[in-house]
Amino acid sequence: MKKTLLSVVSLGAVAALALSGCSAGGSETESQTIKVAYQKFGSFVQVDNHMKAVKKAFEAANEGLTVELVPIEAQENDYATKLALMNKSAATAPDVMYEDTFRVQSDSDAGYLAPLDEYTSEWEDWDSFYDNAKNAGLGSDGKTYGIPMGTDTRAIWYNKDLFAEAGLPVPFEPKTWEDVLDAAATVKAELPDVIPLNVYSGKAQGEAASMQGFEMLLYGTEDTLYNTDDQKWITGSQGFVDSLGFIEDVYQGDLGPTPEQALDKNVGNLVSGEWLPQGKLAMGIDGSWLSGTWLEEGTAPWAEWDTVMGQASMPTQDGAEPGATSMSGGWTLAMGSKSTNKDAAWDFISLALNKDNSQAYDIAASQIAVRDDVSQDPDYQAANPTFGFFSEIVATTHFRPATSDYAQISSAITVAMEAVMTGQQSPKDAAAAYDQAVVGIVGEENTESAE
């Protein structure tokens, strides 16, 4: 029988802290309360469950210390804004925070995060983390600021029952963008009451739009967003125009949700909690974590999900090698630079992400494991039928540019997407406006033309 998250945390907590030589408590001048801030929104309920369980175990093992949980109920961009505001003052700054990998550099540059190298150097568990996962938590100075909780990949989720009803092949194995759009057009013709395809788009969706929507397209073209060798942002990209063209085909071609639906901040919850389980959406570009919503402990339990839903790799634009593409990200636990009890903050992080607790979280949240001892564990491998598929995609995945400018670039992408999806601009004009925005953000000397 699979262990529950609470049982894994509670049973192993005291032993884990004792074996690691727990240093929490410290001197009398140190705070006896550590504040833990994290996002609680939609499918992020698994994070809330995890933090509650770790709090209980931590307090049981550390008499006199209290964990104050600060769940922030907000969508991605709003969460980041609220977290930044908290970090402005020592009175409100968290000791531990749930930190998106793409914000580690900008937040460490801003002075919000404390380096963790003195702790990881003495933490035996650190050797179990994959090197590329460790790199996701590095700041621009090369120091470690975040400990990864898990990672993810993205692909096309499709409803096999709806595909069969529309006369589409199952399994669905698109080779080009045209194959995806053709399938959407078939659904529209055969099942007019079903939304054919969801691609997150527009300013309200933040990173869900820029990364999960746009960059899933762009990195399947011959172009890219950023030249990592030259450390310059790309402008004048035909791939950028073509990716916006795909967005135009979906939203101006009535192959997706209405723009009004797509611009609803809660559309992600609608996709996972209603549209897919209720057969209202045929397919969507979404993440490996999606099935976590449908597990018994998820926000929208759906017992039949693993027989109804299929997964297909996102194809490259014209089928060029390697034939498929994906985007990866993930979240870390980081320590606040203003913490007055950093030893206790570290002990909370190391407890939350030890082997048993990492595994419990990765299973509950449908995350791709970042520890080798978790990924090789038979219980982890057997916990979700999609883990194998989404782990294989890592071979063709891409990561967002980890620069302090990226957050602003991401916002500029969503502006271009929204202009196209609502018919305000053509893909070419929106791309040109994006190019100007990039120059304004980073300076012309930090850009290069793709032409």
Tell me the percentage of the chain whose pLDDT exceeds 70. 93
What are the backbone dihedrals phi and psi of residue 395, each rounded to the nearest 5 degrees, phi first?
A: -65, -25
Task: Evaluate if residue 21 carries a pLDDT over 50.
Answer: no
333-372 residue pLDDT tens: 999 999 999 999 999 999 999 999 999 999 999 999 999 9
Task: Evaluate if residue 16 carries a pLDDT over 70.
Answer: no
Residue 60 and residue 15: Cα distance in Å, rounded?
11
Torsion of CA 356, 360, 361, 362, to 10 degrees: 100
pTM, full prediction: 0.84
Dihedral of alpha carbons 253, 254, 255, 259, sign? positive
The closest of 425, 362, 408, 334 to 138, measured between CA atoms, is 334
Residue 218 and residue 244: Cα distance in Å, rounded?
9
Mean pLDDT of 116-123: 98
What are the DSSP calls for 76-116, one per residue?
HHHHHHHHHHHTTSTTT--SEEEEEGGGHHHHHHTT-B---
DSSP 215: I
Residue 302 and residue 278: Cα distance in Å, rounded?
10
286-334 residue pLDDT tens: 999 999 999 888 889 999 999 999 999 999 999 999 999 999 989 999 9
31 Cβ partners below 8 Å, 6+ apart? 95, 339, 340, 341, 344
Q: Return the higher-pLDDT residue of 448 and 5.
A: 448
161-173 residue pLDDT tens: 999 999 999 999 9
Strands (DSSP E) found in 132-200: 146-151, 154-159, 195-198
Strand 330-335 to 96-100 pairing: antiparallel
Ordered structural domains, the chain, with CATH? 5-152+330-393 (3.40.190.10), 154-327+400-449 (3.40.190.10)
User: Helices 342-352 and 45-61: crossing angle, nearest 10°?
Assistant: 120
Residue 377 and residue 375: Cα distance in Å, rounded?
6
Task: Evaluate if residue 9 carries a pLDDT over 90.
Answer: no
Task: Evaluate if residue 138 carries a pLDDT over 70.
Answer: yes
Point out which residues pair with 325 in neighbouring strands: 314
109 Cβ partners below 8 Å, 6+ apart? 139, 140, 404
425-446 residue pLDDT tens: 999 999 999 999 999 999 999 9
Q: Which residue has the tokens 């990200």?
A: 329
| Mean pLDDT over the full length of the chain | 91
The closest of 321, 24, 324, 10 to 153, measured between CA atoms, is 324
Q: Residue 44 has what pLDDT?
A: 63
Residue 2 and residue 379: Cα distance in Å, rounded?
7
48-75 residue pLDDT tens: 999 999 999 999 999 999 999 999 998 8
If pLDDT is split at 50, 70 and 90, which confidence band does 3 have?
Answer: very low
441 Cβ partners below 8 Å, 6+ apart? 405, 408, 409, 412
Residue 389 and residue 324: Cα distance in Å, rounded?
13
267 Cβ partners below 8 Å, 6+ apart? 198, 200, 204, 205, 257, 261
If pLDDT is split at 50, 70 and 90, which confidence band does 24 have?
Answer: very low
Dihedral of alpha carbons 432, 438, 443, 448, sign? negative
